[in-house]
Chains A and B, each alone.
Chain A
Amino acid sequence: MQLINNKKPSKNKVNITQLLTVATCTLLGTSAQAEEEKSWEFDTALMYYGETDRVQATELILAGTKTFEDEKTLNLKLTVDALTGASANGAVAQPNVQTFTRPSGKESFNTPANETPLDDTFRDTRLQFNAQWTQPFAEDYRISGGLHLSKEYDYLSVGLNANIARDFNQKNTTLSAGVAYSNDTITPEGDIPTAFAEMVPPGNELNRSGTEDDKTTVDLLLGVTQVIDRQTIMQFNYSYSQVDGYLTDPFKVVSLVNSNGMSEKQLYENRPDKRVKNSIFWQTKHHFLSNSIIDFSYRYFWDDWEITSHTVDARYRIPLGDSYIEPHIRYYTQDAAEFYQPFQLSSNPLPSYMSADYRLGKMDGITVGVKYGMPMKNNTELSFRLEFFQQSSKSTGVEEPGVLNEVDLYPSINAVVAQVSYSF
């Protein structure tokens, strides 16, 4: 009885403290919830990506964030995607029908005359799980740690990351540093082709060098975030990434052509087993007094394969009552890797490395899209996004012998992205 009597005043005291906290926070215009535990908040999205005559992908994301006391947060994310369709195998188009062996080595397919050879065995389902924990650490510091696990039919990636951030100058300046490590294993259909091995018709002995291979990636990220004024915030990042191991695409070939441009055979490509990538990234967000927001970013990328690229991205969010509409434009331009070549002349000696993968070639890309978001009941939001993406491959200036003049060695890709998101 005594204990109960003793407890009661203490409980009342807590209630008064809570009431005072709420009252103070209300007066200061801040949220009383900030220091307290919140229920889970979810972000979900379903995206469709479709290229004309090529890859089709559907991706589903379910992400949940739980905020605990003292601004500790846990973020869990599940991604599922399914890919089907055809992908360029690197071989050149020819004025005649061509026959290629599928990666399994057991079947073949034909590519019509004057068309870019596409391998339609491309089919995969991926399941990815990410977890990230973030919390304050000492005064003005935040630390974060996370892991990811991604599994496909022929691919496994496991990774860890750690980050630290420190606020300065009344939280107007934040310095951050992060490190990530991942280990990826590929077990391709039909095993790992030996570098420069010839693609042979089904039934022949395949020239393979093992059933699986792997690579490791170490990433470093350094960033500065600066509040410029009441309406503007900026971020500068430098990122470094070193990849070691099997970086070749086991499904890609390079056509060996004669002086008339006629394809004689297909050789499996070979890339260096190390790549060092760097980028600088600058982002600015500005809140106009009209309540619209511009989000602009620029990235310069370079690596030791001699690929360089520029990416410019701009989004402009315009409020429409409680809803908003956000037009988006992205421009990308890339220079080719030093060992990229659309074909190899059979009269020339083979180089140490070569790939005809258009993604390592010279290209431009443009994306134009729009997002529309609307608030729903109980503080939830529904949004729709529609984008058009065009990727145009360019010649690196290689002279095209004979019949290669008459076919398209640098086809464009057109894709549409449609997405529905719901946050609750």
Chain B
Amino acid sequence: MKNYKHTILIVSLVALTSACSSLGVQPWERDLLAKDEMALNSSPIDASLDDHIYFSKESSSGGRGFAGGGCGCN
């Protein structure tokens, strides 16, 4: 069982290292990433409405952006 875990760990590390060396794309390979819908925050208005809802109903905030609130809803 221990050997099995070690094998997984080594395979994962090798996979991770080899993946890191080839991370990223050439400028001409950005066709899909350049789409508006592939932006990390592609719907900022939805995100801001959601942040307001969950900030006022839960004890956590922030993560994607700043944690500060700016409203008395919490």
- A interface residues, Cβ below 8 angstroms from B: 43-45, 47, 49, 59, 61, 63, 77, 79, 81, 83, 124, 126, 128, 148, 150, 152, 154-155, 157, 159, 161, 169-173, 178, 180, 182, 184, 186, 217, 219, 221, 225-231, 233, 235, 237, 239, 241, 277, 279-281, 283, 285, 287, 293, 295, 297, 299, 301, 303, 305, 307, 309, 311, 317, 324, 332, 334, 337, 359-360, 363, 365, 371, 385, 389, 391, 413, 417, 419, 421
Min Cβ gap B11→A in Å is: 19
Q: Nearest residue in A to B65 (C-beta to C-beta)? A: A221
Report Cα–Cα, A370/B48, bound state, in Å: 17
Which residues of chain B come closer than 8 Å to A47, judged between CB atoms?
49
Give the 7 A-B CB pairs with smallest separation, nearest first: A172-B24, A155-B72, A281-B63, A241-B67, A301-B60, A299-B63, A219-B66
From A128, A239, A417, give the contact of B53 (CB < 8 A): A417
Contact A307 B27 (CB under 8 A): no
Which residues of chain B come closer than 8 Å to A59, judged between CB atoms?
49, 52
Report Cα–Cα, A299/B66, bound state, in Å: 13
B59 at the binding interface (Cβ < 8 Å): yes
Contact A150 B63 (CB under 8 A): no
Given contacts A227-B25, A359-B57, contact A159 B63 (CB under 8 A): no
Report Cα–Cα, A155/B69, bound state, in Å: 12
Which residues of chain B come closer than 8 Å to A159, judged between CB atoms?
68, 70
Min Cβ gap A47→B in Å is: 5
B38 at the binding interface (Cβ < 8 Å): yes
Given contacts A157-B70, A157-B71, A391-B57, contact A228 B23 (CB under 8 A): yes
Contact B40 A309 (CB under 8 A): no
Q: Can you list 17 A-B pairs with a CB-CB distance of less than 8 A?
A: A59-B52, A61-B45, A77-B48, A150-B71, A154-B72, A170-B24, A173-B23, A178-B66, A241-B62, A241-B66, A277-B67, A287-B38, A301-B60, A303-B59, A307-B59, A413-B57, A421-B46
User: Is the contact region of chain B dominated by helix, strand, or loop, or is it mixed?
Assistant: loop
Given contacts A152-B71, A159-B68, A227-B23, contact A421 B45 (CB under 8 A): yes
Given contacts A230-B32, A283-B64, A285-B40, contact A43 B45 (CB under 8 A): yes
Min Cβ gap B70→A in Å is: 4
Report Cα–Cα, A161/B67, bound state, in Å: 12
Min Cβ gap A38→B in Å is: 14
Q: Nearest residue in A to B39 (C-beta to C-beta)? A: A285
Report Cα–Cα, A398/B62, bound state, in Å: 30
Contact A419 B49 (CB under 8 A): yes
B74 at the binding interface (Cβ < 8 Å): yes
Which residues of chain A come closer than 8 Å to B38, judged between CB atoms?
233, 285, 287, 293
Contact A359 B59 (CB under 8 A): yes
Contact A237 B63 (CB under 8 A): yes
Contact A161 B66 (CB under 8 A): yes
Given contacts A279-B67, A421-B46, contact A230 B60 (CB under 8 A): no
From B19, B42, B63, give the contact of A311 (CB < 8 A): B63
From A221, A228, A307, A421, give the contact of B60 (CB < 8 A): A307
Given contacts A172-B24, A231-B32, contact A186 B72 (CB under 8 A): yes
Contact A334 B58 (CB under 8 A): yes
Min Cβ gap B48→A in Å is: 7
Residue of B31, B60, B72 ringed by the most chain A CB atoms within 10 A = B72
Q: Nearest residue in A to B34 (C-beta to C-beta)? A: A30
Report Cα–Cα, A271/B53, bound state, in Å: 22
Which residues of chain B come closer than 8 Å to A280, judged between CB atoms?
63
Report Cα–Cα, A63/B41, bound state, in Å: 15
Which residues of chain A come closer than 8 Å to B67, judged between CB atoms?
217, 219, 239, 241, 277, 279
Contact pattern, B 13-55, Cβ under 8 Å of A = 1, otherwise 0 = 0000001000111110111110101101010111011001110
Report Cα–Cα, A49/B46, bound state, in Å: 13
